Amino acid sequence: MALPTSVWAADYARAPFGKTPDGVAVEAVTLTNAKGVSATVITYGATLQSLIAPGRDGTKADIALGFKDAQAYAKNASYFGASVGRFANRIGKGRFTLDGKTYQLALNNNGVAALHGGAKGFDKRVWAITDIKRGPVASVTFTHVSPDGEEGYPGTLTATATYALDEQNNLTIRYGATTDKPTIVNLTNHALFNLAGEGSPDGAMGNVLTLAADGYTPVDAELIPTGEVTPVTGTPFDFRTPHVVGERVRDARDPQIVVGRGYDHNMVLTGKAGGAPRLAARLADPKSGRVLEILSDQPGIQLYTGNFIDGTLVGKSGRIYRQGDGVALEPQHFPDAPNKPAFAPVRLDPGQSYSNTMVFRLTTDGKRD
């Protein structure tokens, strides 16, 4: 016999979220718990549209950048909170070879690289809700079937994105995929966070970041990894101890900061990939006490400081988003991995299952600024 809804602390609610320009209905699912945390995810791009977190005094804020309706997401190619794929991040020259055959993808990144799955990647598809639950953990699963040849990728790929919120303030995102012929896959979530609250006047550069990364992958002028791994010691990329994000984001003495216009680099996580998610990053706002810890089972995490947000986007709270208004921490495989033999492989064959599990853990720091 089913228990009455009132006994479940973790719950969900469904609501319309508008329509795409071609008339496809978009739905929003809001997961909530008894601690005041909630996450809203929309079917357009299986996108994390909102993440509400309380501060040390209980004051709640939405810490995820985003828009107020489906039309705004369709209009603005921002990737805010989106599930990106088939291959997140960049592939140099939009080209890779698999079993002797070369595949050419759309050059949707300044005409020199493929970015985040192509001109119409997973972030621009309306996913289907295939499971939804309330209980000790509230969750929703989205599914997108990408046909063979979509955006130039081989194989029919069935991708899933499950968002689950528990009473310990953990929002877990699990990506999965299967294929019917050899292909490549690298899915992640492209949320941009500001622990002071999205649209806050001072942006996110006052957030304090800690990263469990001893190295990073330097990039060329087109932001494609060179294939090397460089130790972070003595560089602006050393976040092994806490640093304010904005402290070194404009340090032009480091040519990698110049080429990235700030941070737009893959950090090489310590610990073994593929096991239980380990602590990868900690982002905190000293004033409110909000803390976001990110646990990951992936080999890398892309650090991006919103360098290309140019003041032309209006966020959901009516504030203009500018450079530095959000920090992305995207657990994933390394960029351009299909073309870099030294990087962990991203090939997926029939009969195999791809997975990427990340945990967004919300806590508070009792210390006042």
Told to judge if 330 belongs to the known catalytic residues of this protein, a careful annotator would answer yes
> Alpha-carbon torsion 209, 212, 215, 218, what sign?
negative
Dist CA 269 CA 263 (whole Å): 16
What contacts 366, CB < 8 A, 6 or more positions away?
56, 289
| CA-closest candidate to residue 313, choices 301, 323, 327, 299 | 323
176-207 b/e (C-beta count within 10 Å ≥ 16 → b):
bbbbeeebbbbbbbbbbbbbbbbbbeebbbbb
| CA-closest candidate to residue 55, choices 316, 281, 366, 293 | 366
Told to judge if 116 belongs to the known catalytic residues of this protein, a careful annotator would answer no
Q: What is the DSSP letter of 240?
A: S
Report phi then psi at 5, rounded to 5.
Answer: -55, -35
Characterise 67 by phi-psi region: left (phi > 0), alpha (psi -120 to 50), beta (else).
beta
Dist CA 189 CA 199 (whole Å): 20
Give 132-136 contacts, CB < 8 A, sequence gap 24+: 132/12, 132/14, 132/29, 133/12, 134/5, 134/8, 134/10, 134/11, 134/12, 135/8, 135/10, 136/8, 136/9, 136/10, 136/166, 136/167
For residue 258, the SS3 value is helix
Catalytic residue, chosen from 190, 265, 293, 333, is: 190
Catalytic residue, chosen from 27, 198, 330, 333, is: 330
> Alpha-carbon torsion 110, 47, 172, 245, what sign?
positive
Position 23, amino acid = G
State CA 222 to chain mean position distance.
21
Active site positions, annotated: 190, 330
